[in-house]
Amino acid sequence: MISALHLLFIFIIGLVFGSFFNVIGFRAPLKQSIVRPRSRCPYCHDQLTAIELIPVISFFVQRGKCRHCKRRISFLYPMIELLTGFLFAAAFFLIGWEFELVVVWTFMSLLLIVFVTDVTYMVIPNKILLTFAAIFLVERFIIPLNPWWDSLLGGVIALLIPLFIAMISKGGMGGGDIKLFALLGFALGTQTVLLSLFLATFYGALFGGIGLLLGIVQKGKPLPFAPFIGIGTLTAYFYGEKILNSYLQLLK
Ligand SMILES: [Zn+2]
């Protein structure tokens, strides 16, 4: 049974993981170690004390500024922490104690880390993709998709279609995005990854169009695509069946 206490517990664990995803996301693209040195302010290099490392709370207590030099801390930190807490708890709520939950937490972790790297540096590091490839390989060996070869098919299709889109759109999709899709195809199977690709493109175009009208997005300046891949994949994974069924109803 899922109680409110379970959900709260997982939410808090999620906040802590989110804090770790920030460290990975901000450091990995700079080829820095994720364990050493301890967290510091990126501006004045003041080493953060335990009280400054509490997820979400520290950020708001310090009003989004470094305690030492008073410079602004990226809003991404509390946002990723809260998102991780929320998504981890939501996944548990929707799936329950199944082994599949581990796979879902894994792909959520990947999507949150590349959210940080892509928004901050416009890259999706190979090291992160390779690490998660190894984890997915083990997970899908223990609980394969049905049928098992859907992982291979999903991986290949999710490599070829984005590659084709990248070739005809010339720069609409980067190499990191393509590899990320291939990995998600392996983990989630053909149907989910195809829908995710479609939705990510749709969300990206929608956001780009509205952003251009509102003047938030500059013309010709590429948008980080990983956040849209994230939202697309979550929608496809949790609501894919519903979306496809209502689409098929429309065709009748
Ligand atoms: Zn500082």
In terms of phi and psi (left: phi > 0; alpha: psi -120 to 50; beta: otherwise), the region of 70 is left
Please tell me the distance from the alpha carbon of residue 239 to that of residue 12, in angstroms, as a whole number.
25
Q: From ligand 1's centre to the CA of 114, what distance in Å?
A: 25
Q: From ligand 1's centre to the CA of 69, what distance in Å?
A: 4
pLDDT one-digit tens code per residue, 13-37: 999 999 999 999 999 999 988 888 8
Q: From ligand 1's centre to the CA of 44, what distance in Å?
A: 4
Smallest CA-to-CA distance from 223 within 161, 169, 154 is with 169
Ion ligand 1 residues within 5 Å by Cβ: 41, 43-44, 46, 66, 68-69
Q: From ligand 1's centre to the CA of 50, what distance in Å?
A: 15
The predicted structure's pLDDT at residue 4: 92
Tell me the average pLDDT across 193-202.
Answer: 96
In DSSP terms, which residues pair with 40 in a beta bridge?
47
Using alpha carbons only, how large is the chain's radius of gyration in Å?
Answer: 19
The residues near 190 (Cβ < 8 Å, ≥ 6 apart) are 150, 153, 154, 157, 158
The predicted structure's pLDDT at residue 171: 65
Please tell me the distance from the alpha carbon of residue 70 to that of residue 63, in angstroms, as a whole number.
10
The predicted structure's pLDDT at residue 218: 83
Smallest CA-to-CA distance from 208 within 220, 197, 196 is with 220
Q: From ligand 1's centre to the CA of 67, what distance in Å?
A: 7
Q: From ligand 1's centre to the CA of 46, what distance in Å?
A: 6
Judge whether residue 39 has pLDDT over 90: no
Please tell me the distance from the alpha carbon of residue 120 to that of residue 128, in angstroms, as a whole number.
15
Contact yes or no for 43/69 (Cβ under 8 A): yes
Least confident of 20-29, 70-79, 106-115, 213-222: 213-222
Identify which has the larger pLDDT, 222 or 112: 112
Q: What average pLDDT does the structure give for the chain?
A: 93
Per-residue b or e along 65-92, where b marks 16 or more CB atoms closer than 10 Å to that residue's CB = ebbeeeeebbebbbbbbbbbbebbbbbb
CB atoms under 10 Å from CB of 64, counted, come to: 14
Tell me the average pLDDT across 39-62.
Answer: 89
The predicted structure's pLDDT at residue 217: 85
pLDDT one-digit tens code per residue, 213-227: 998 888 878 889 999
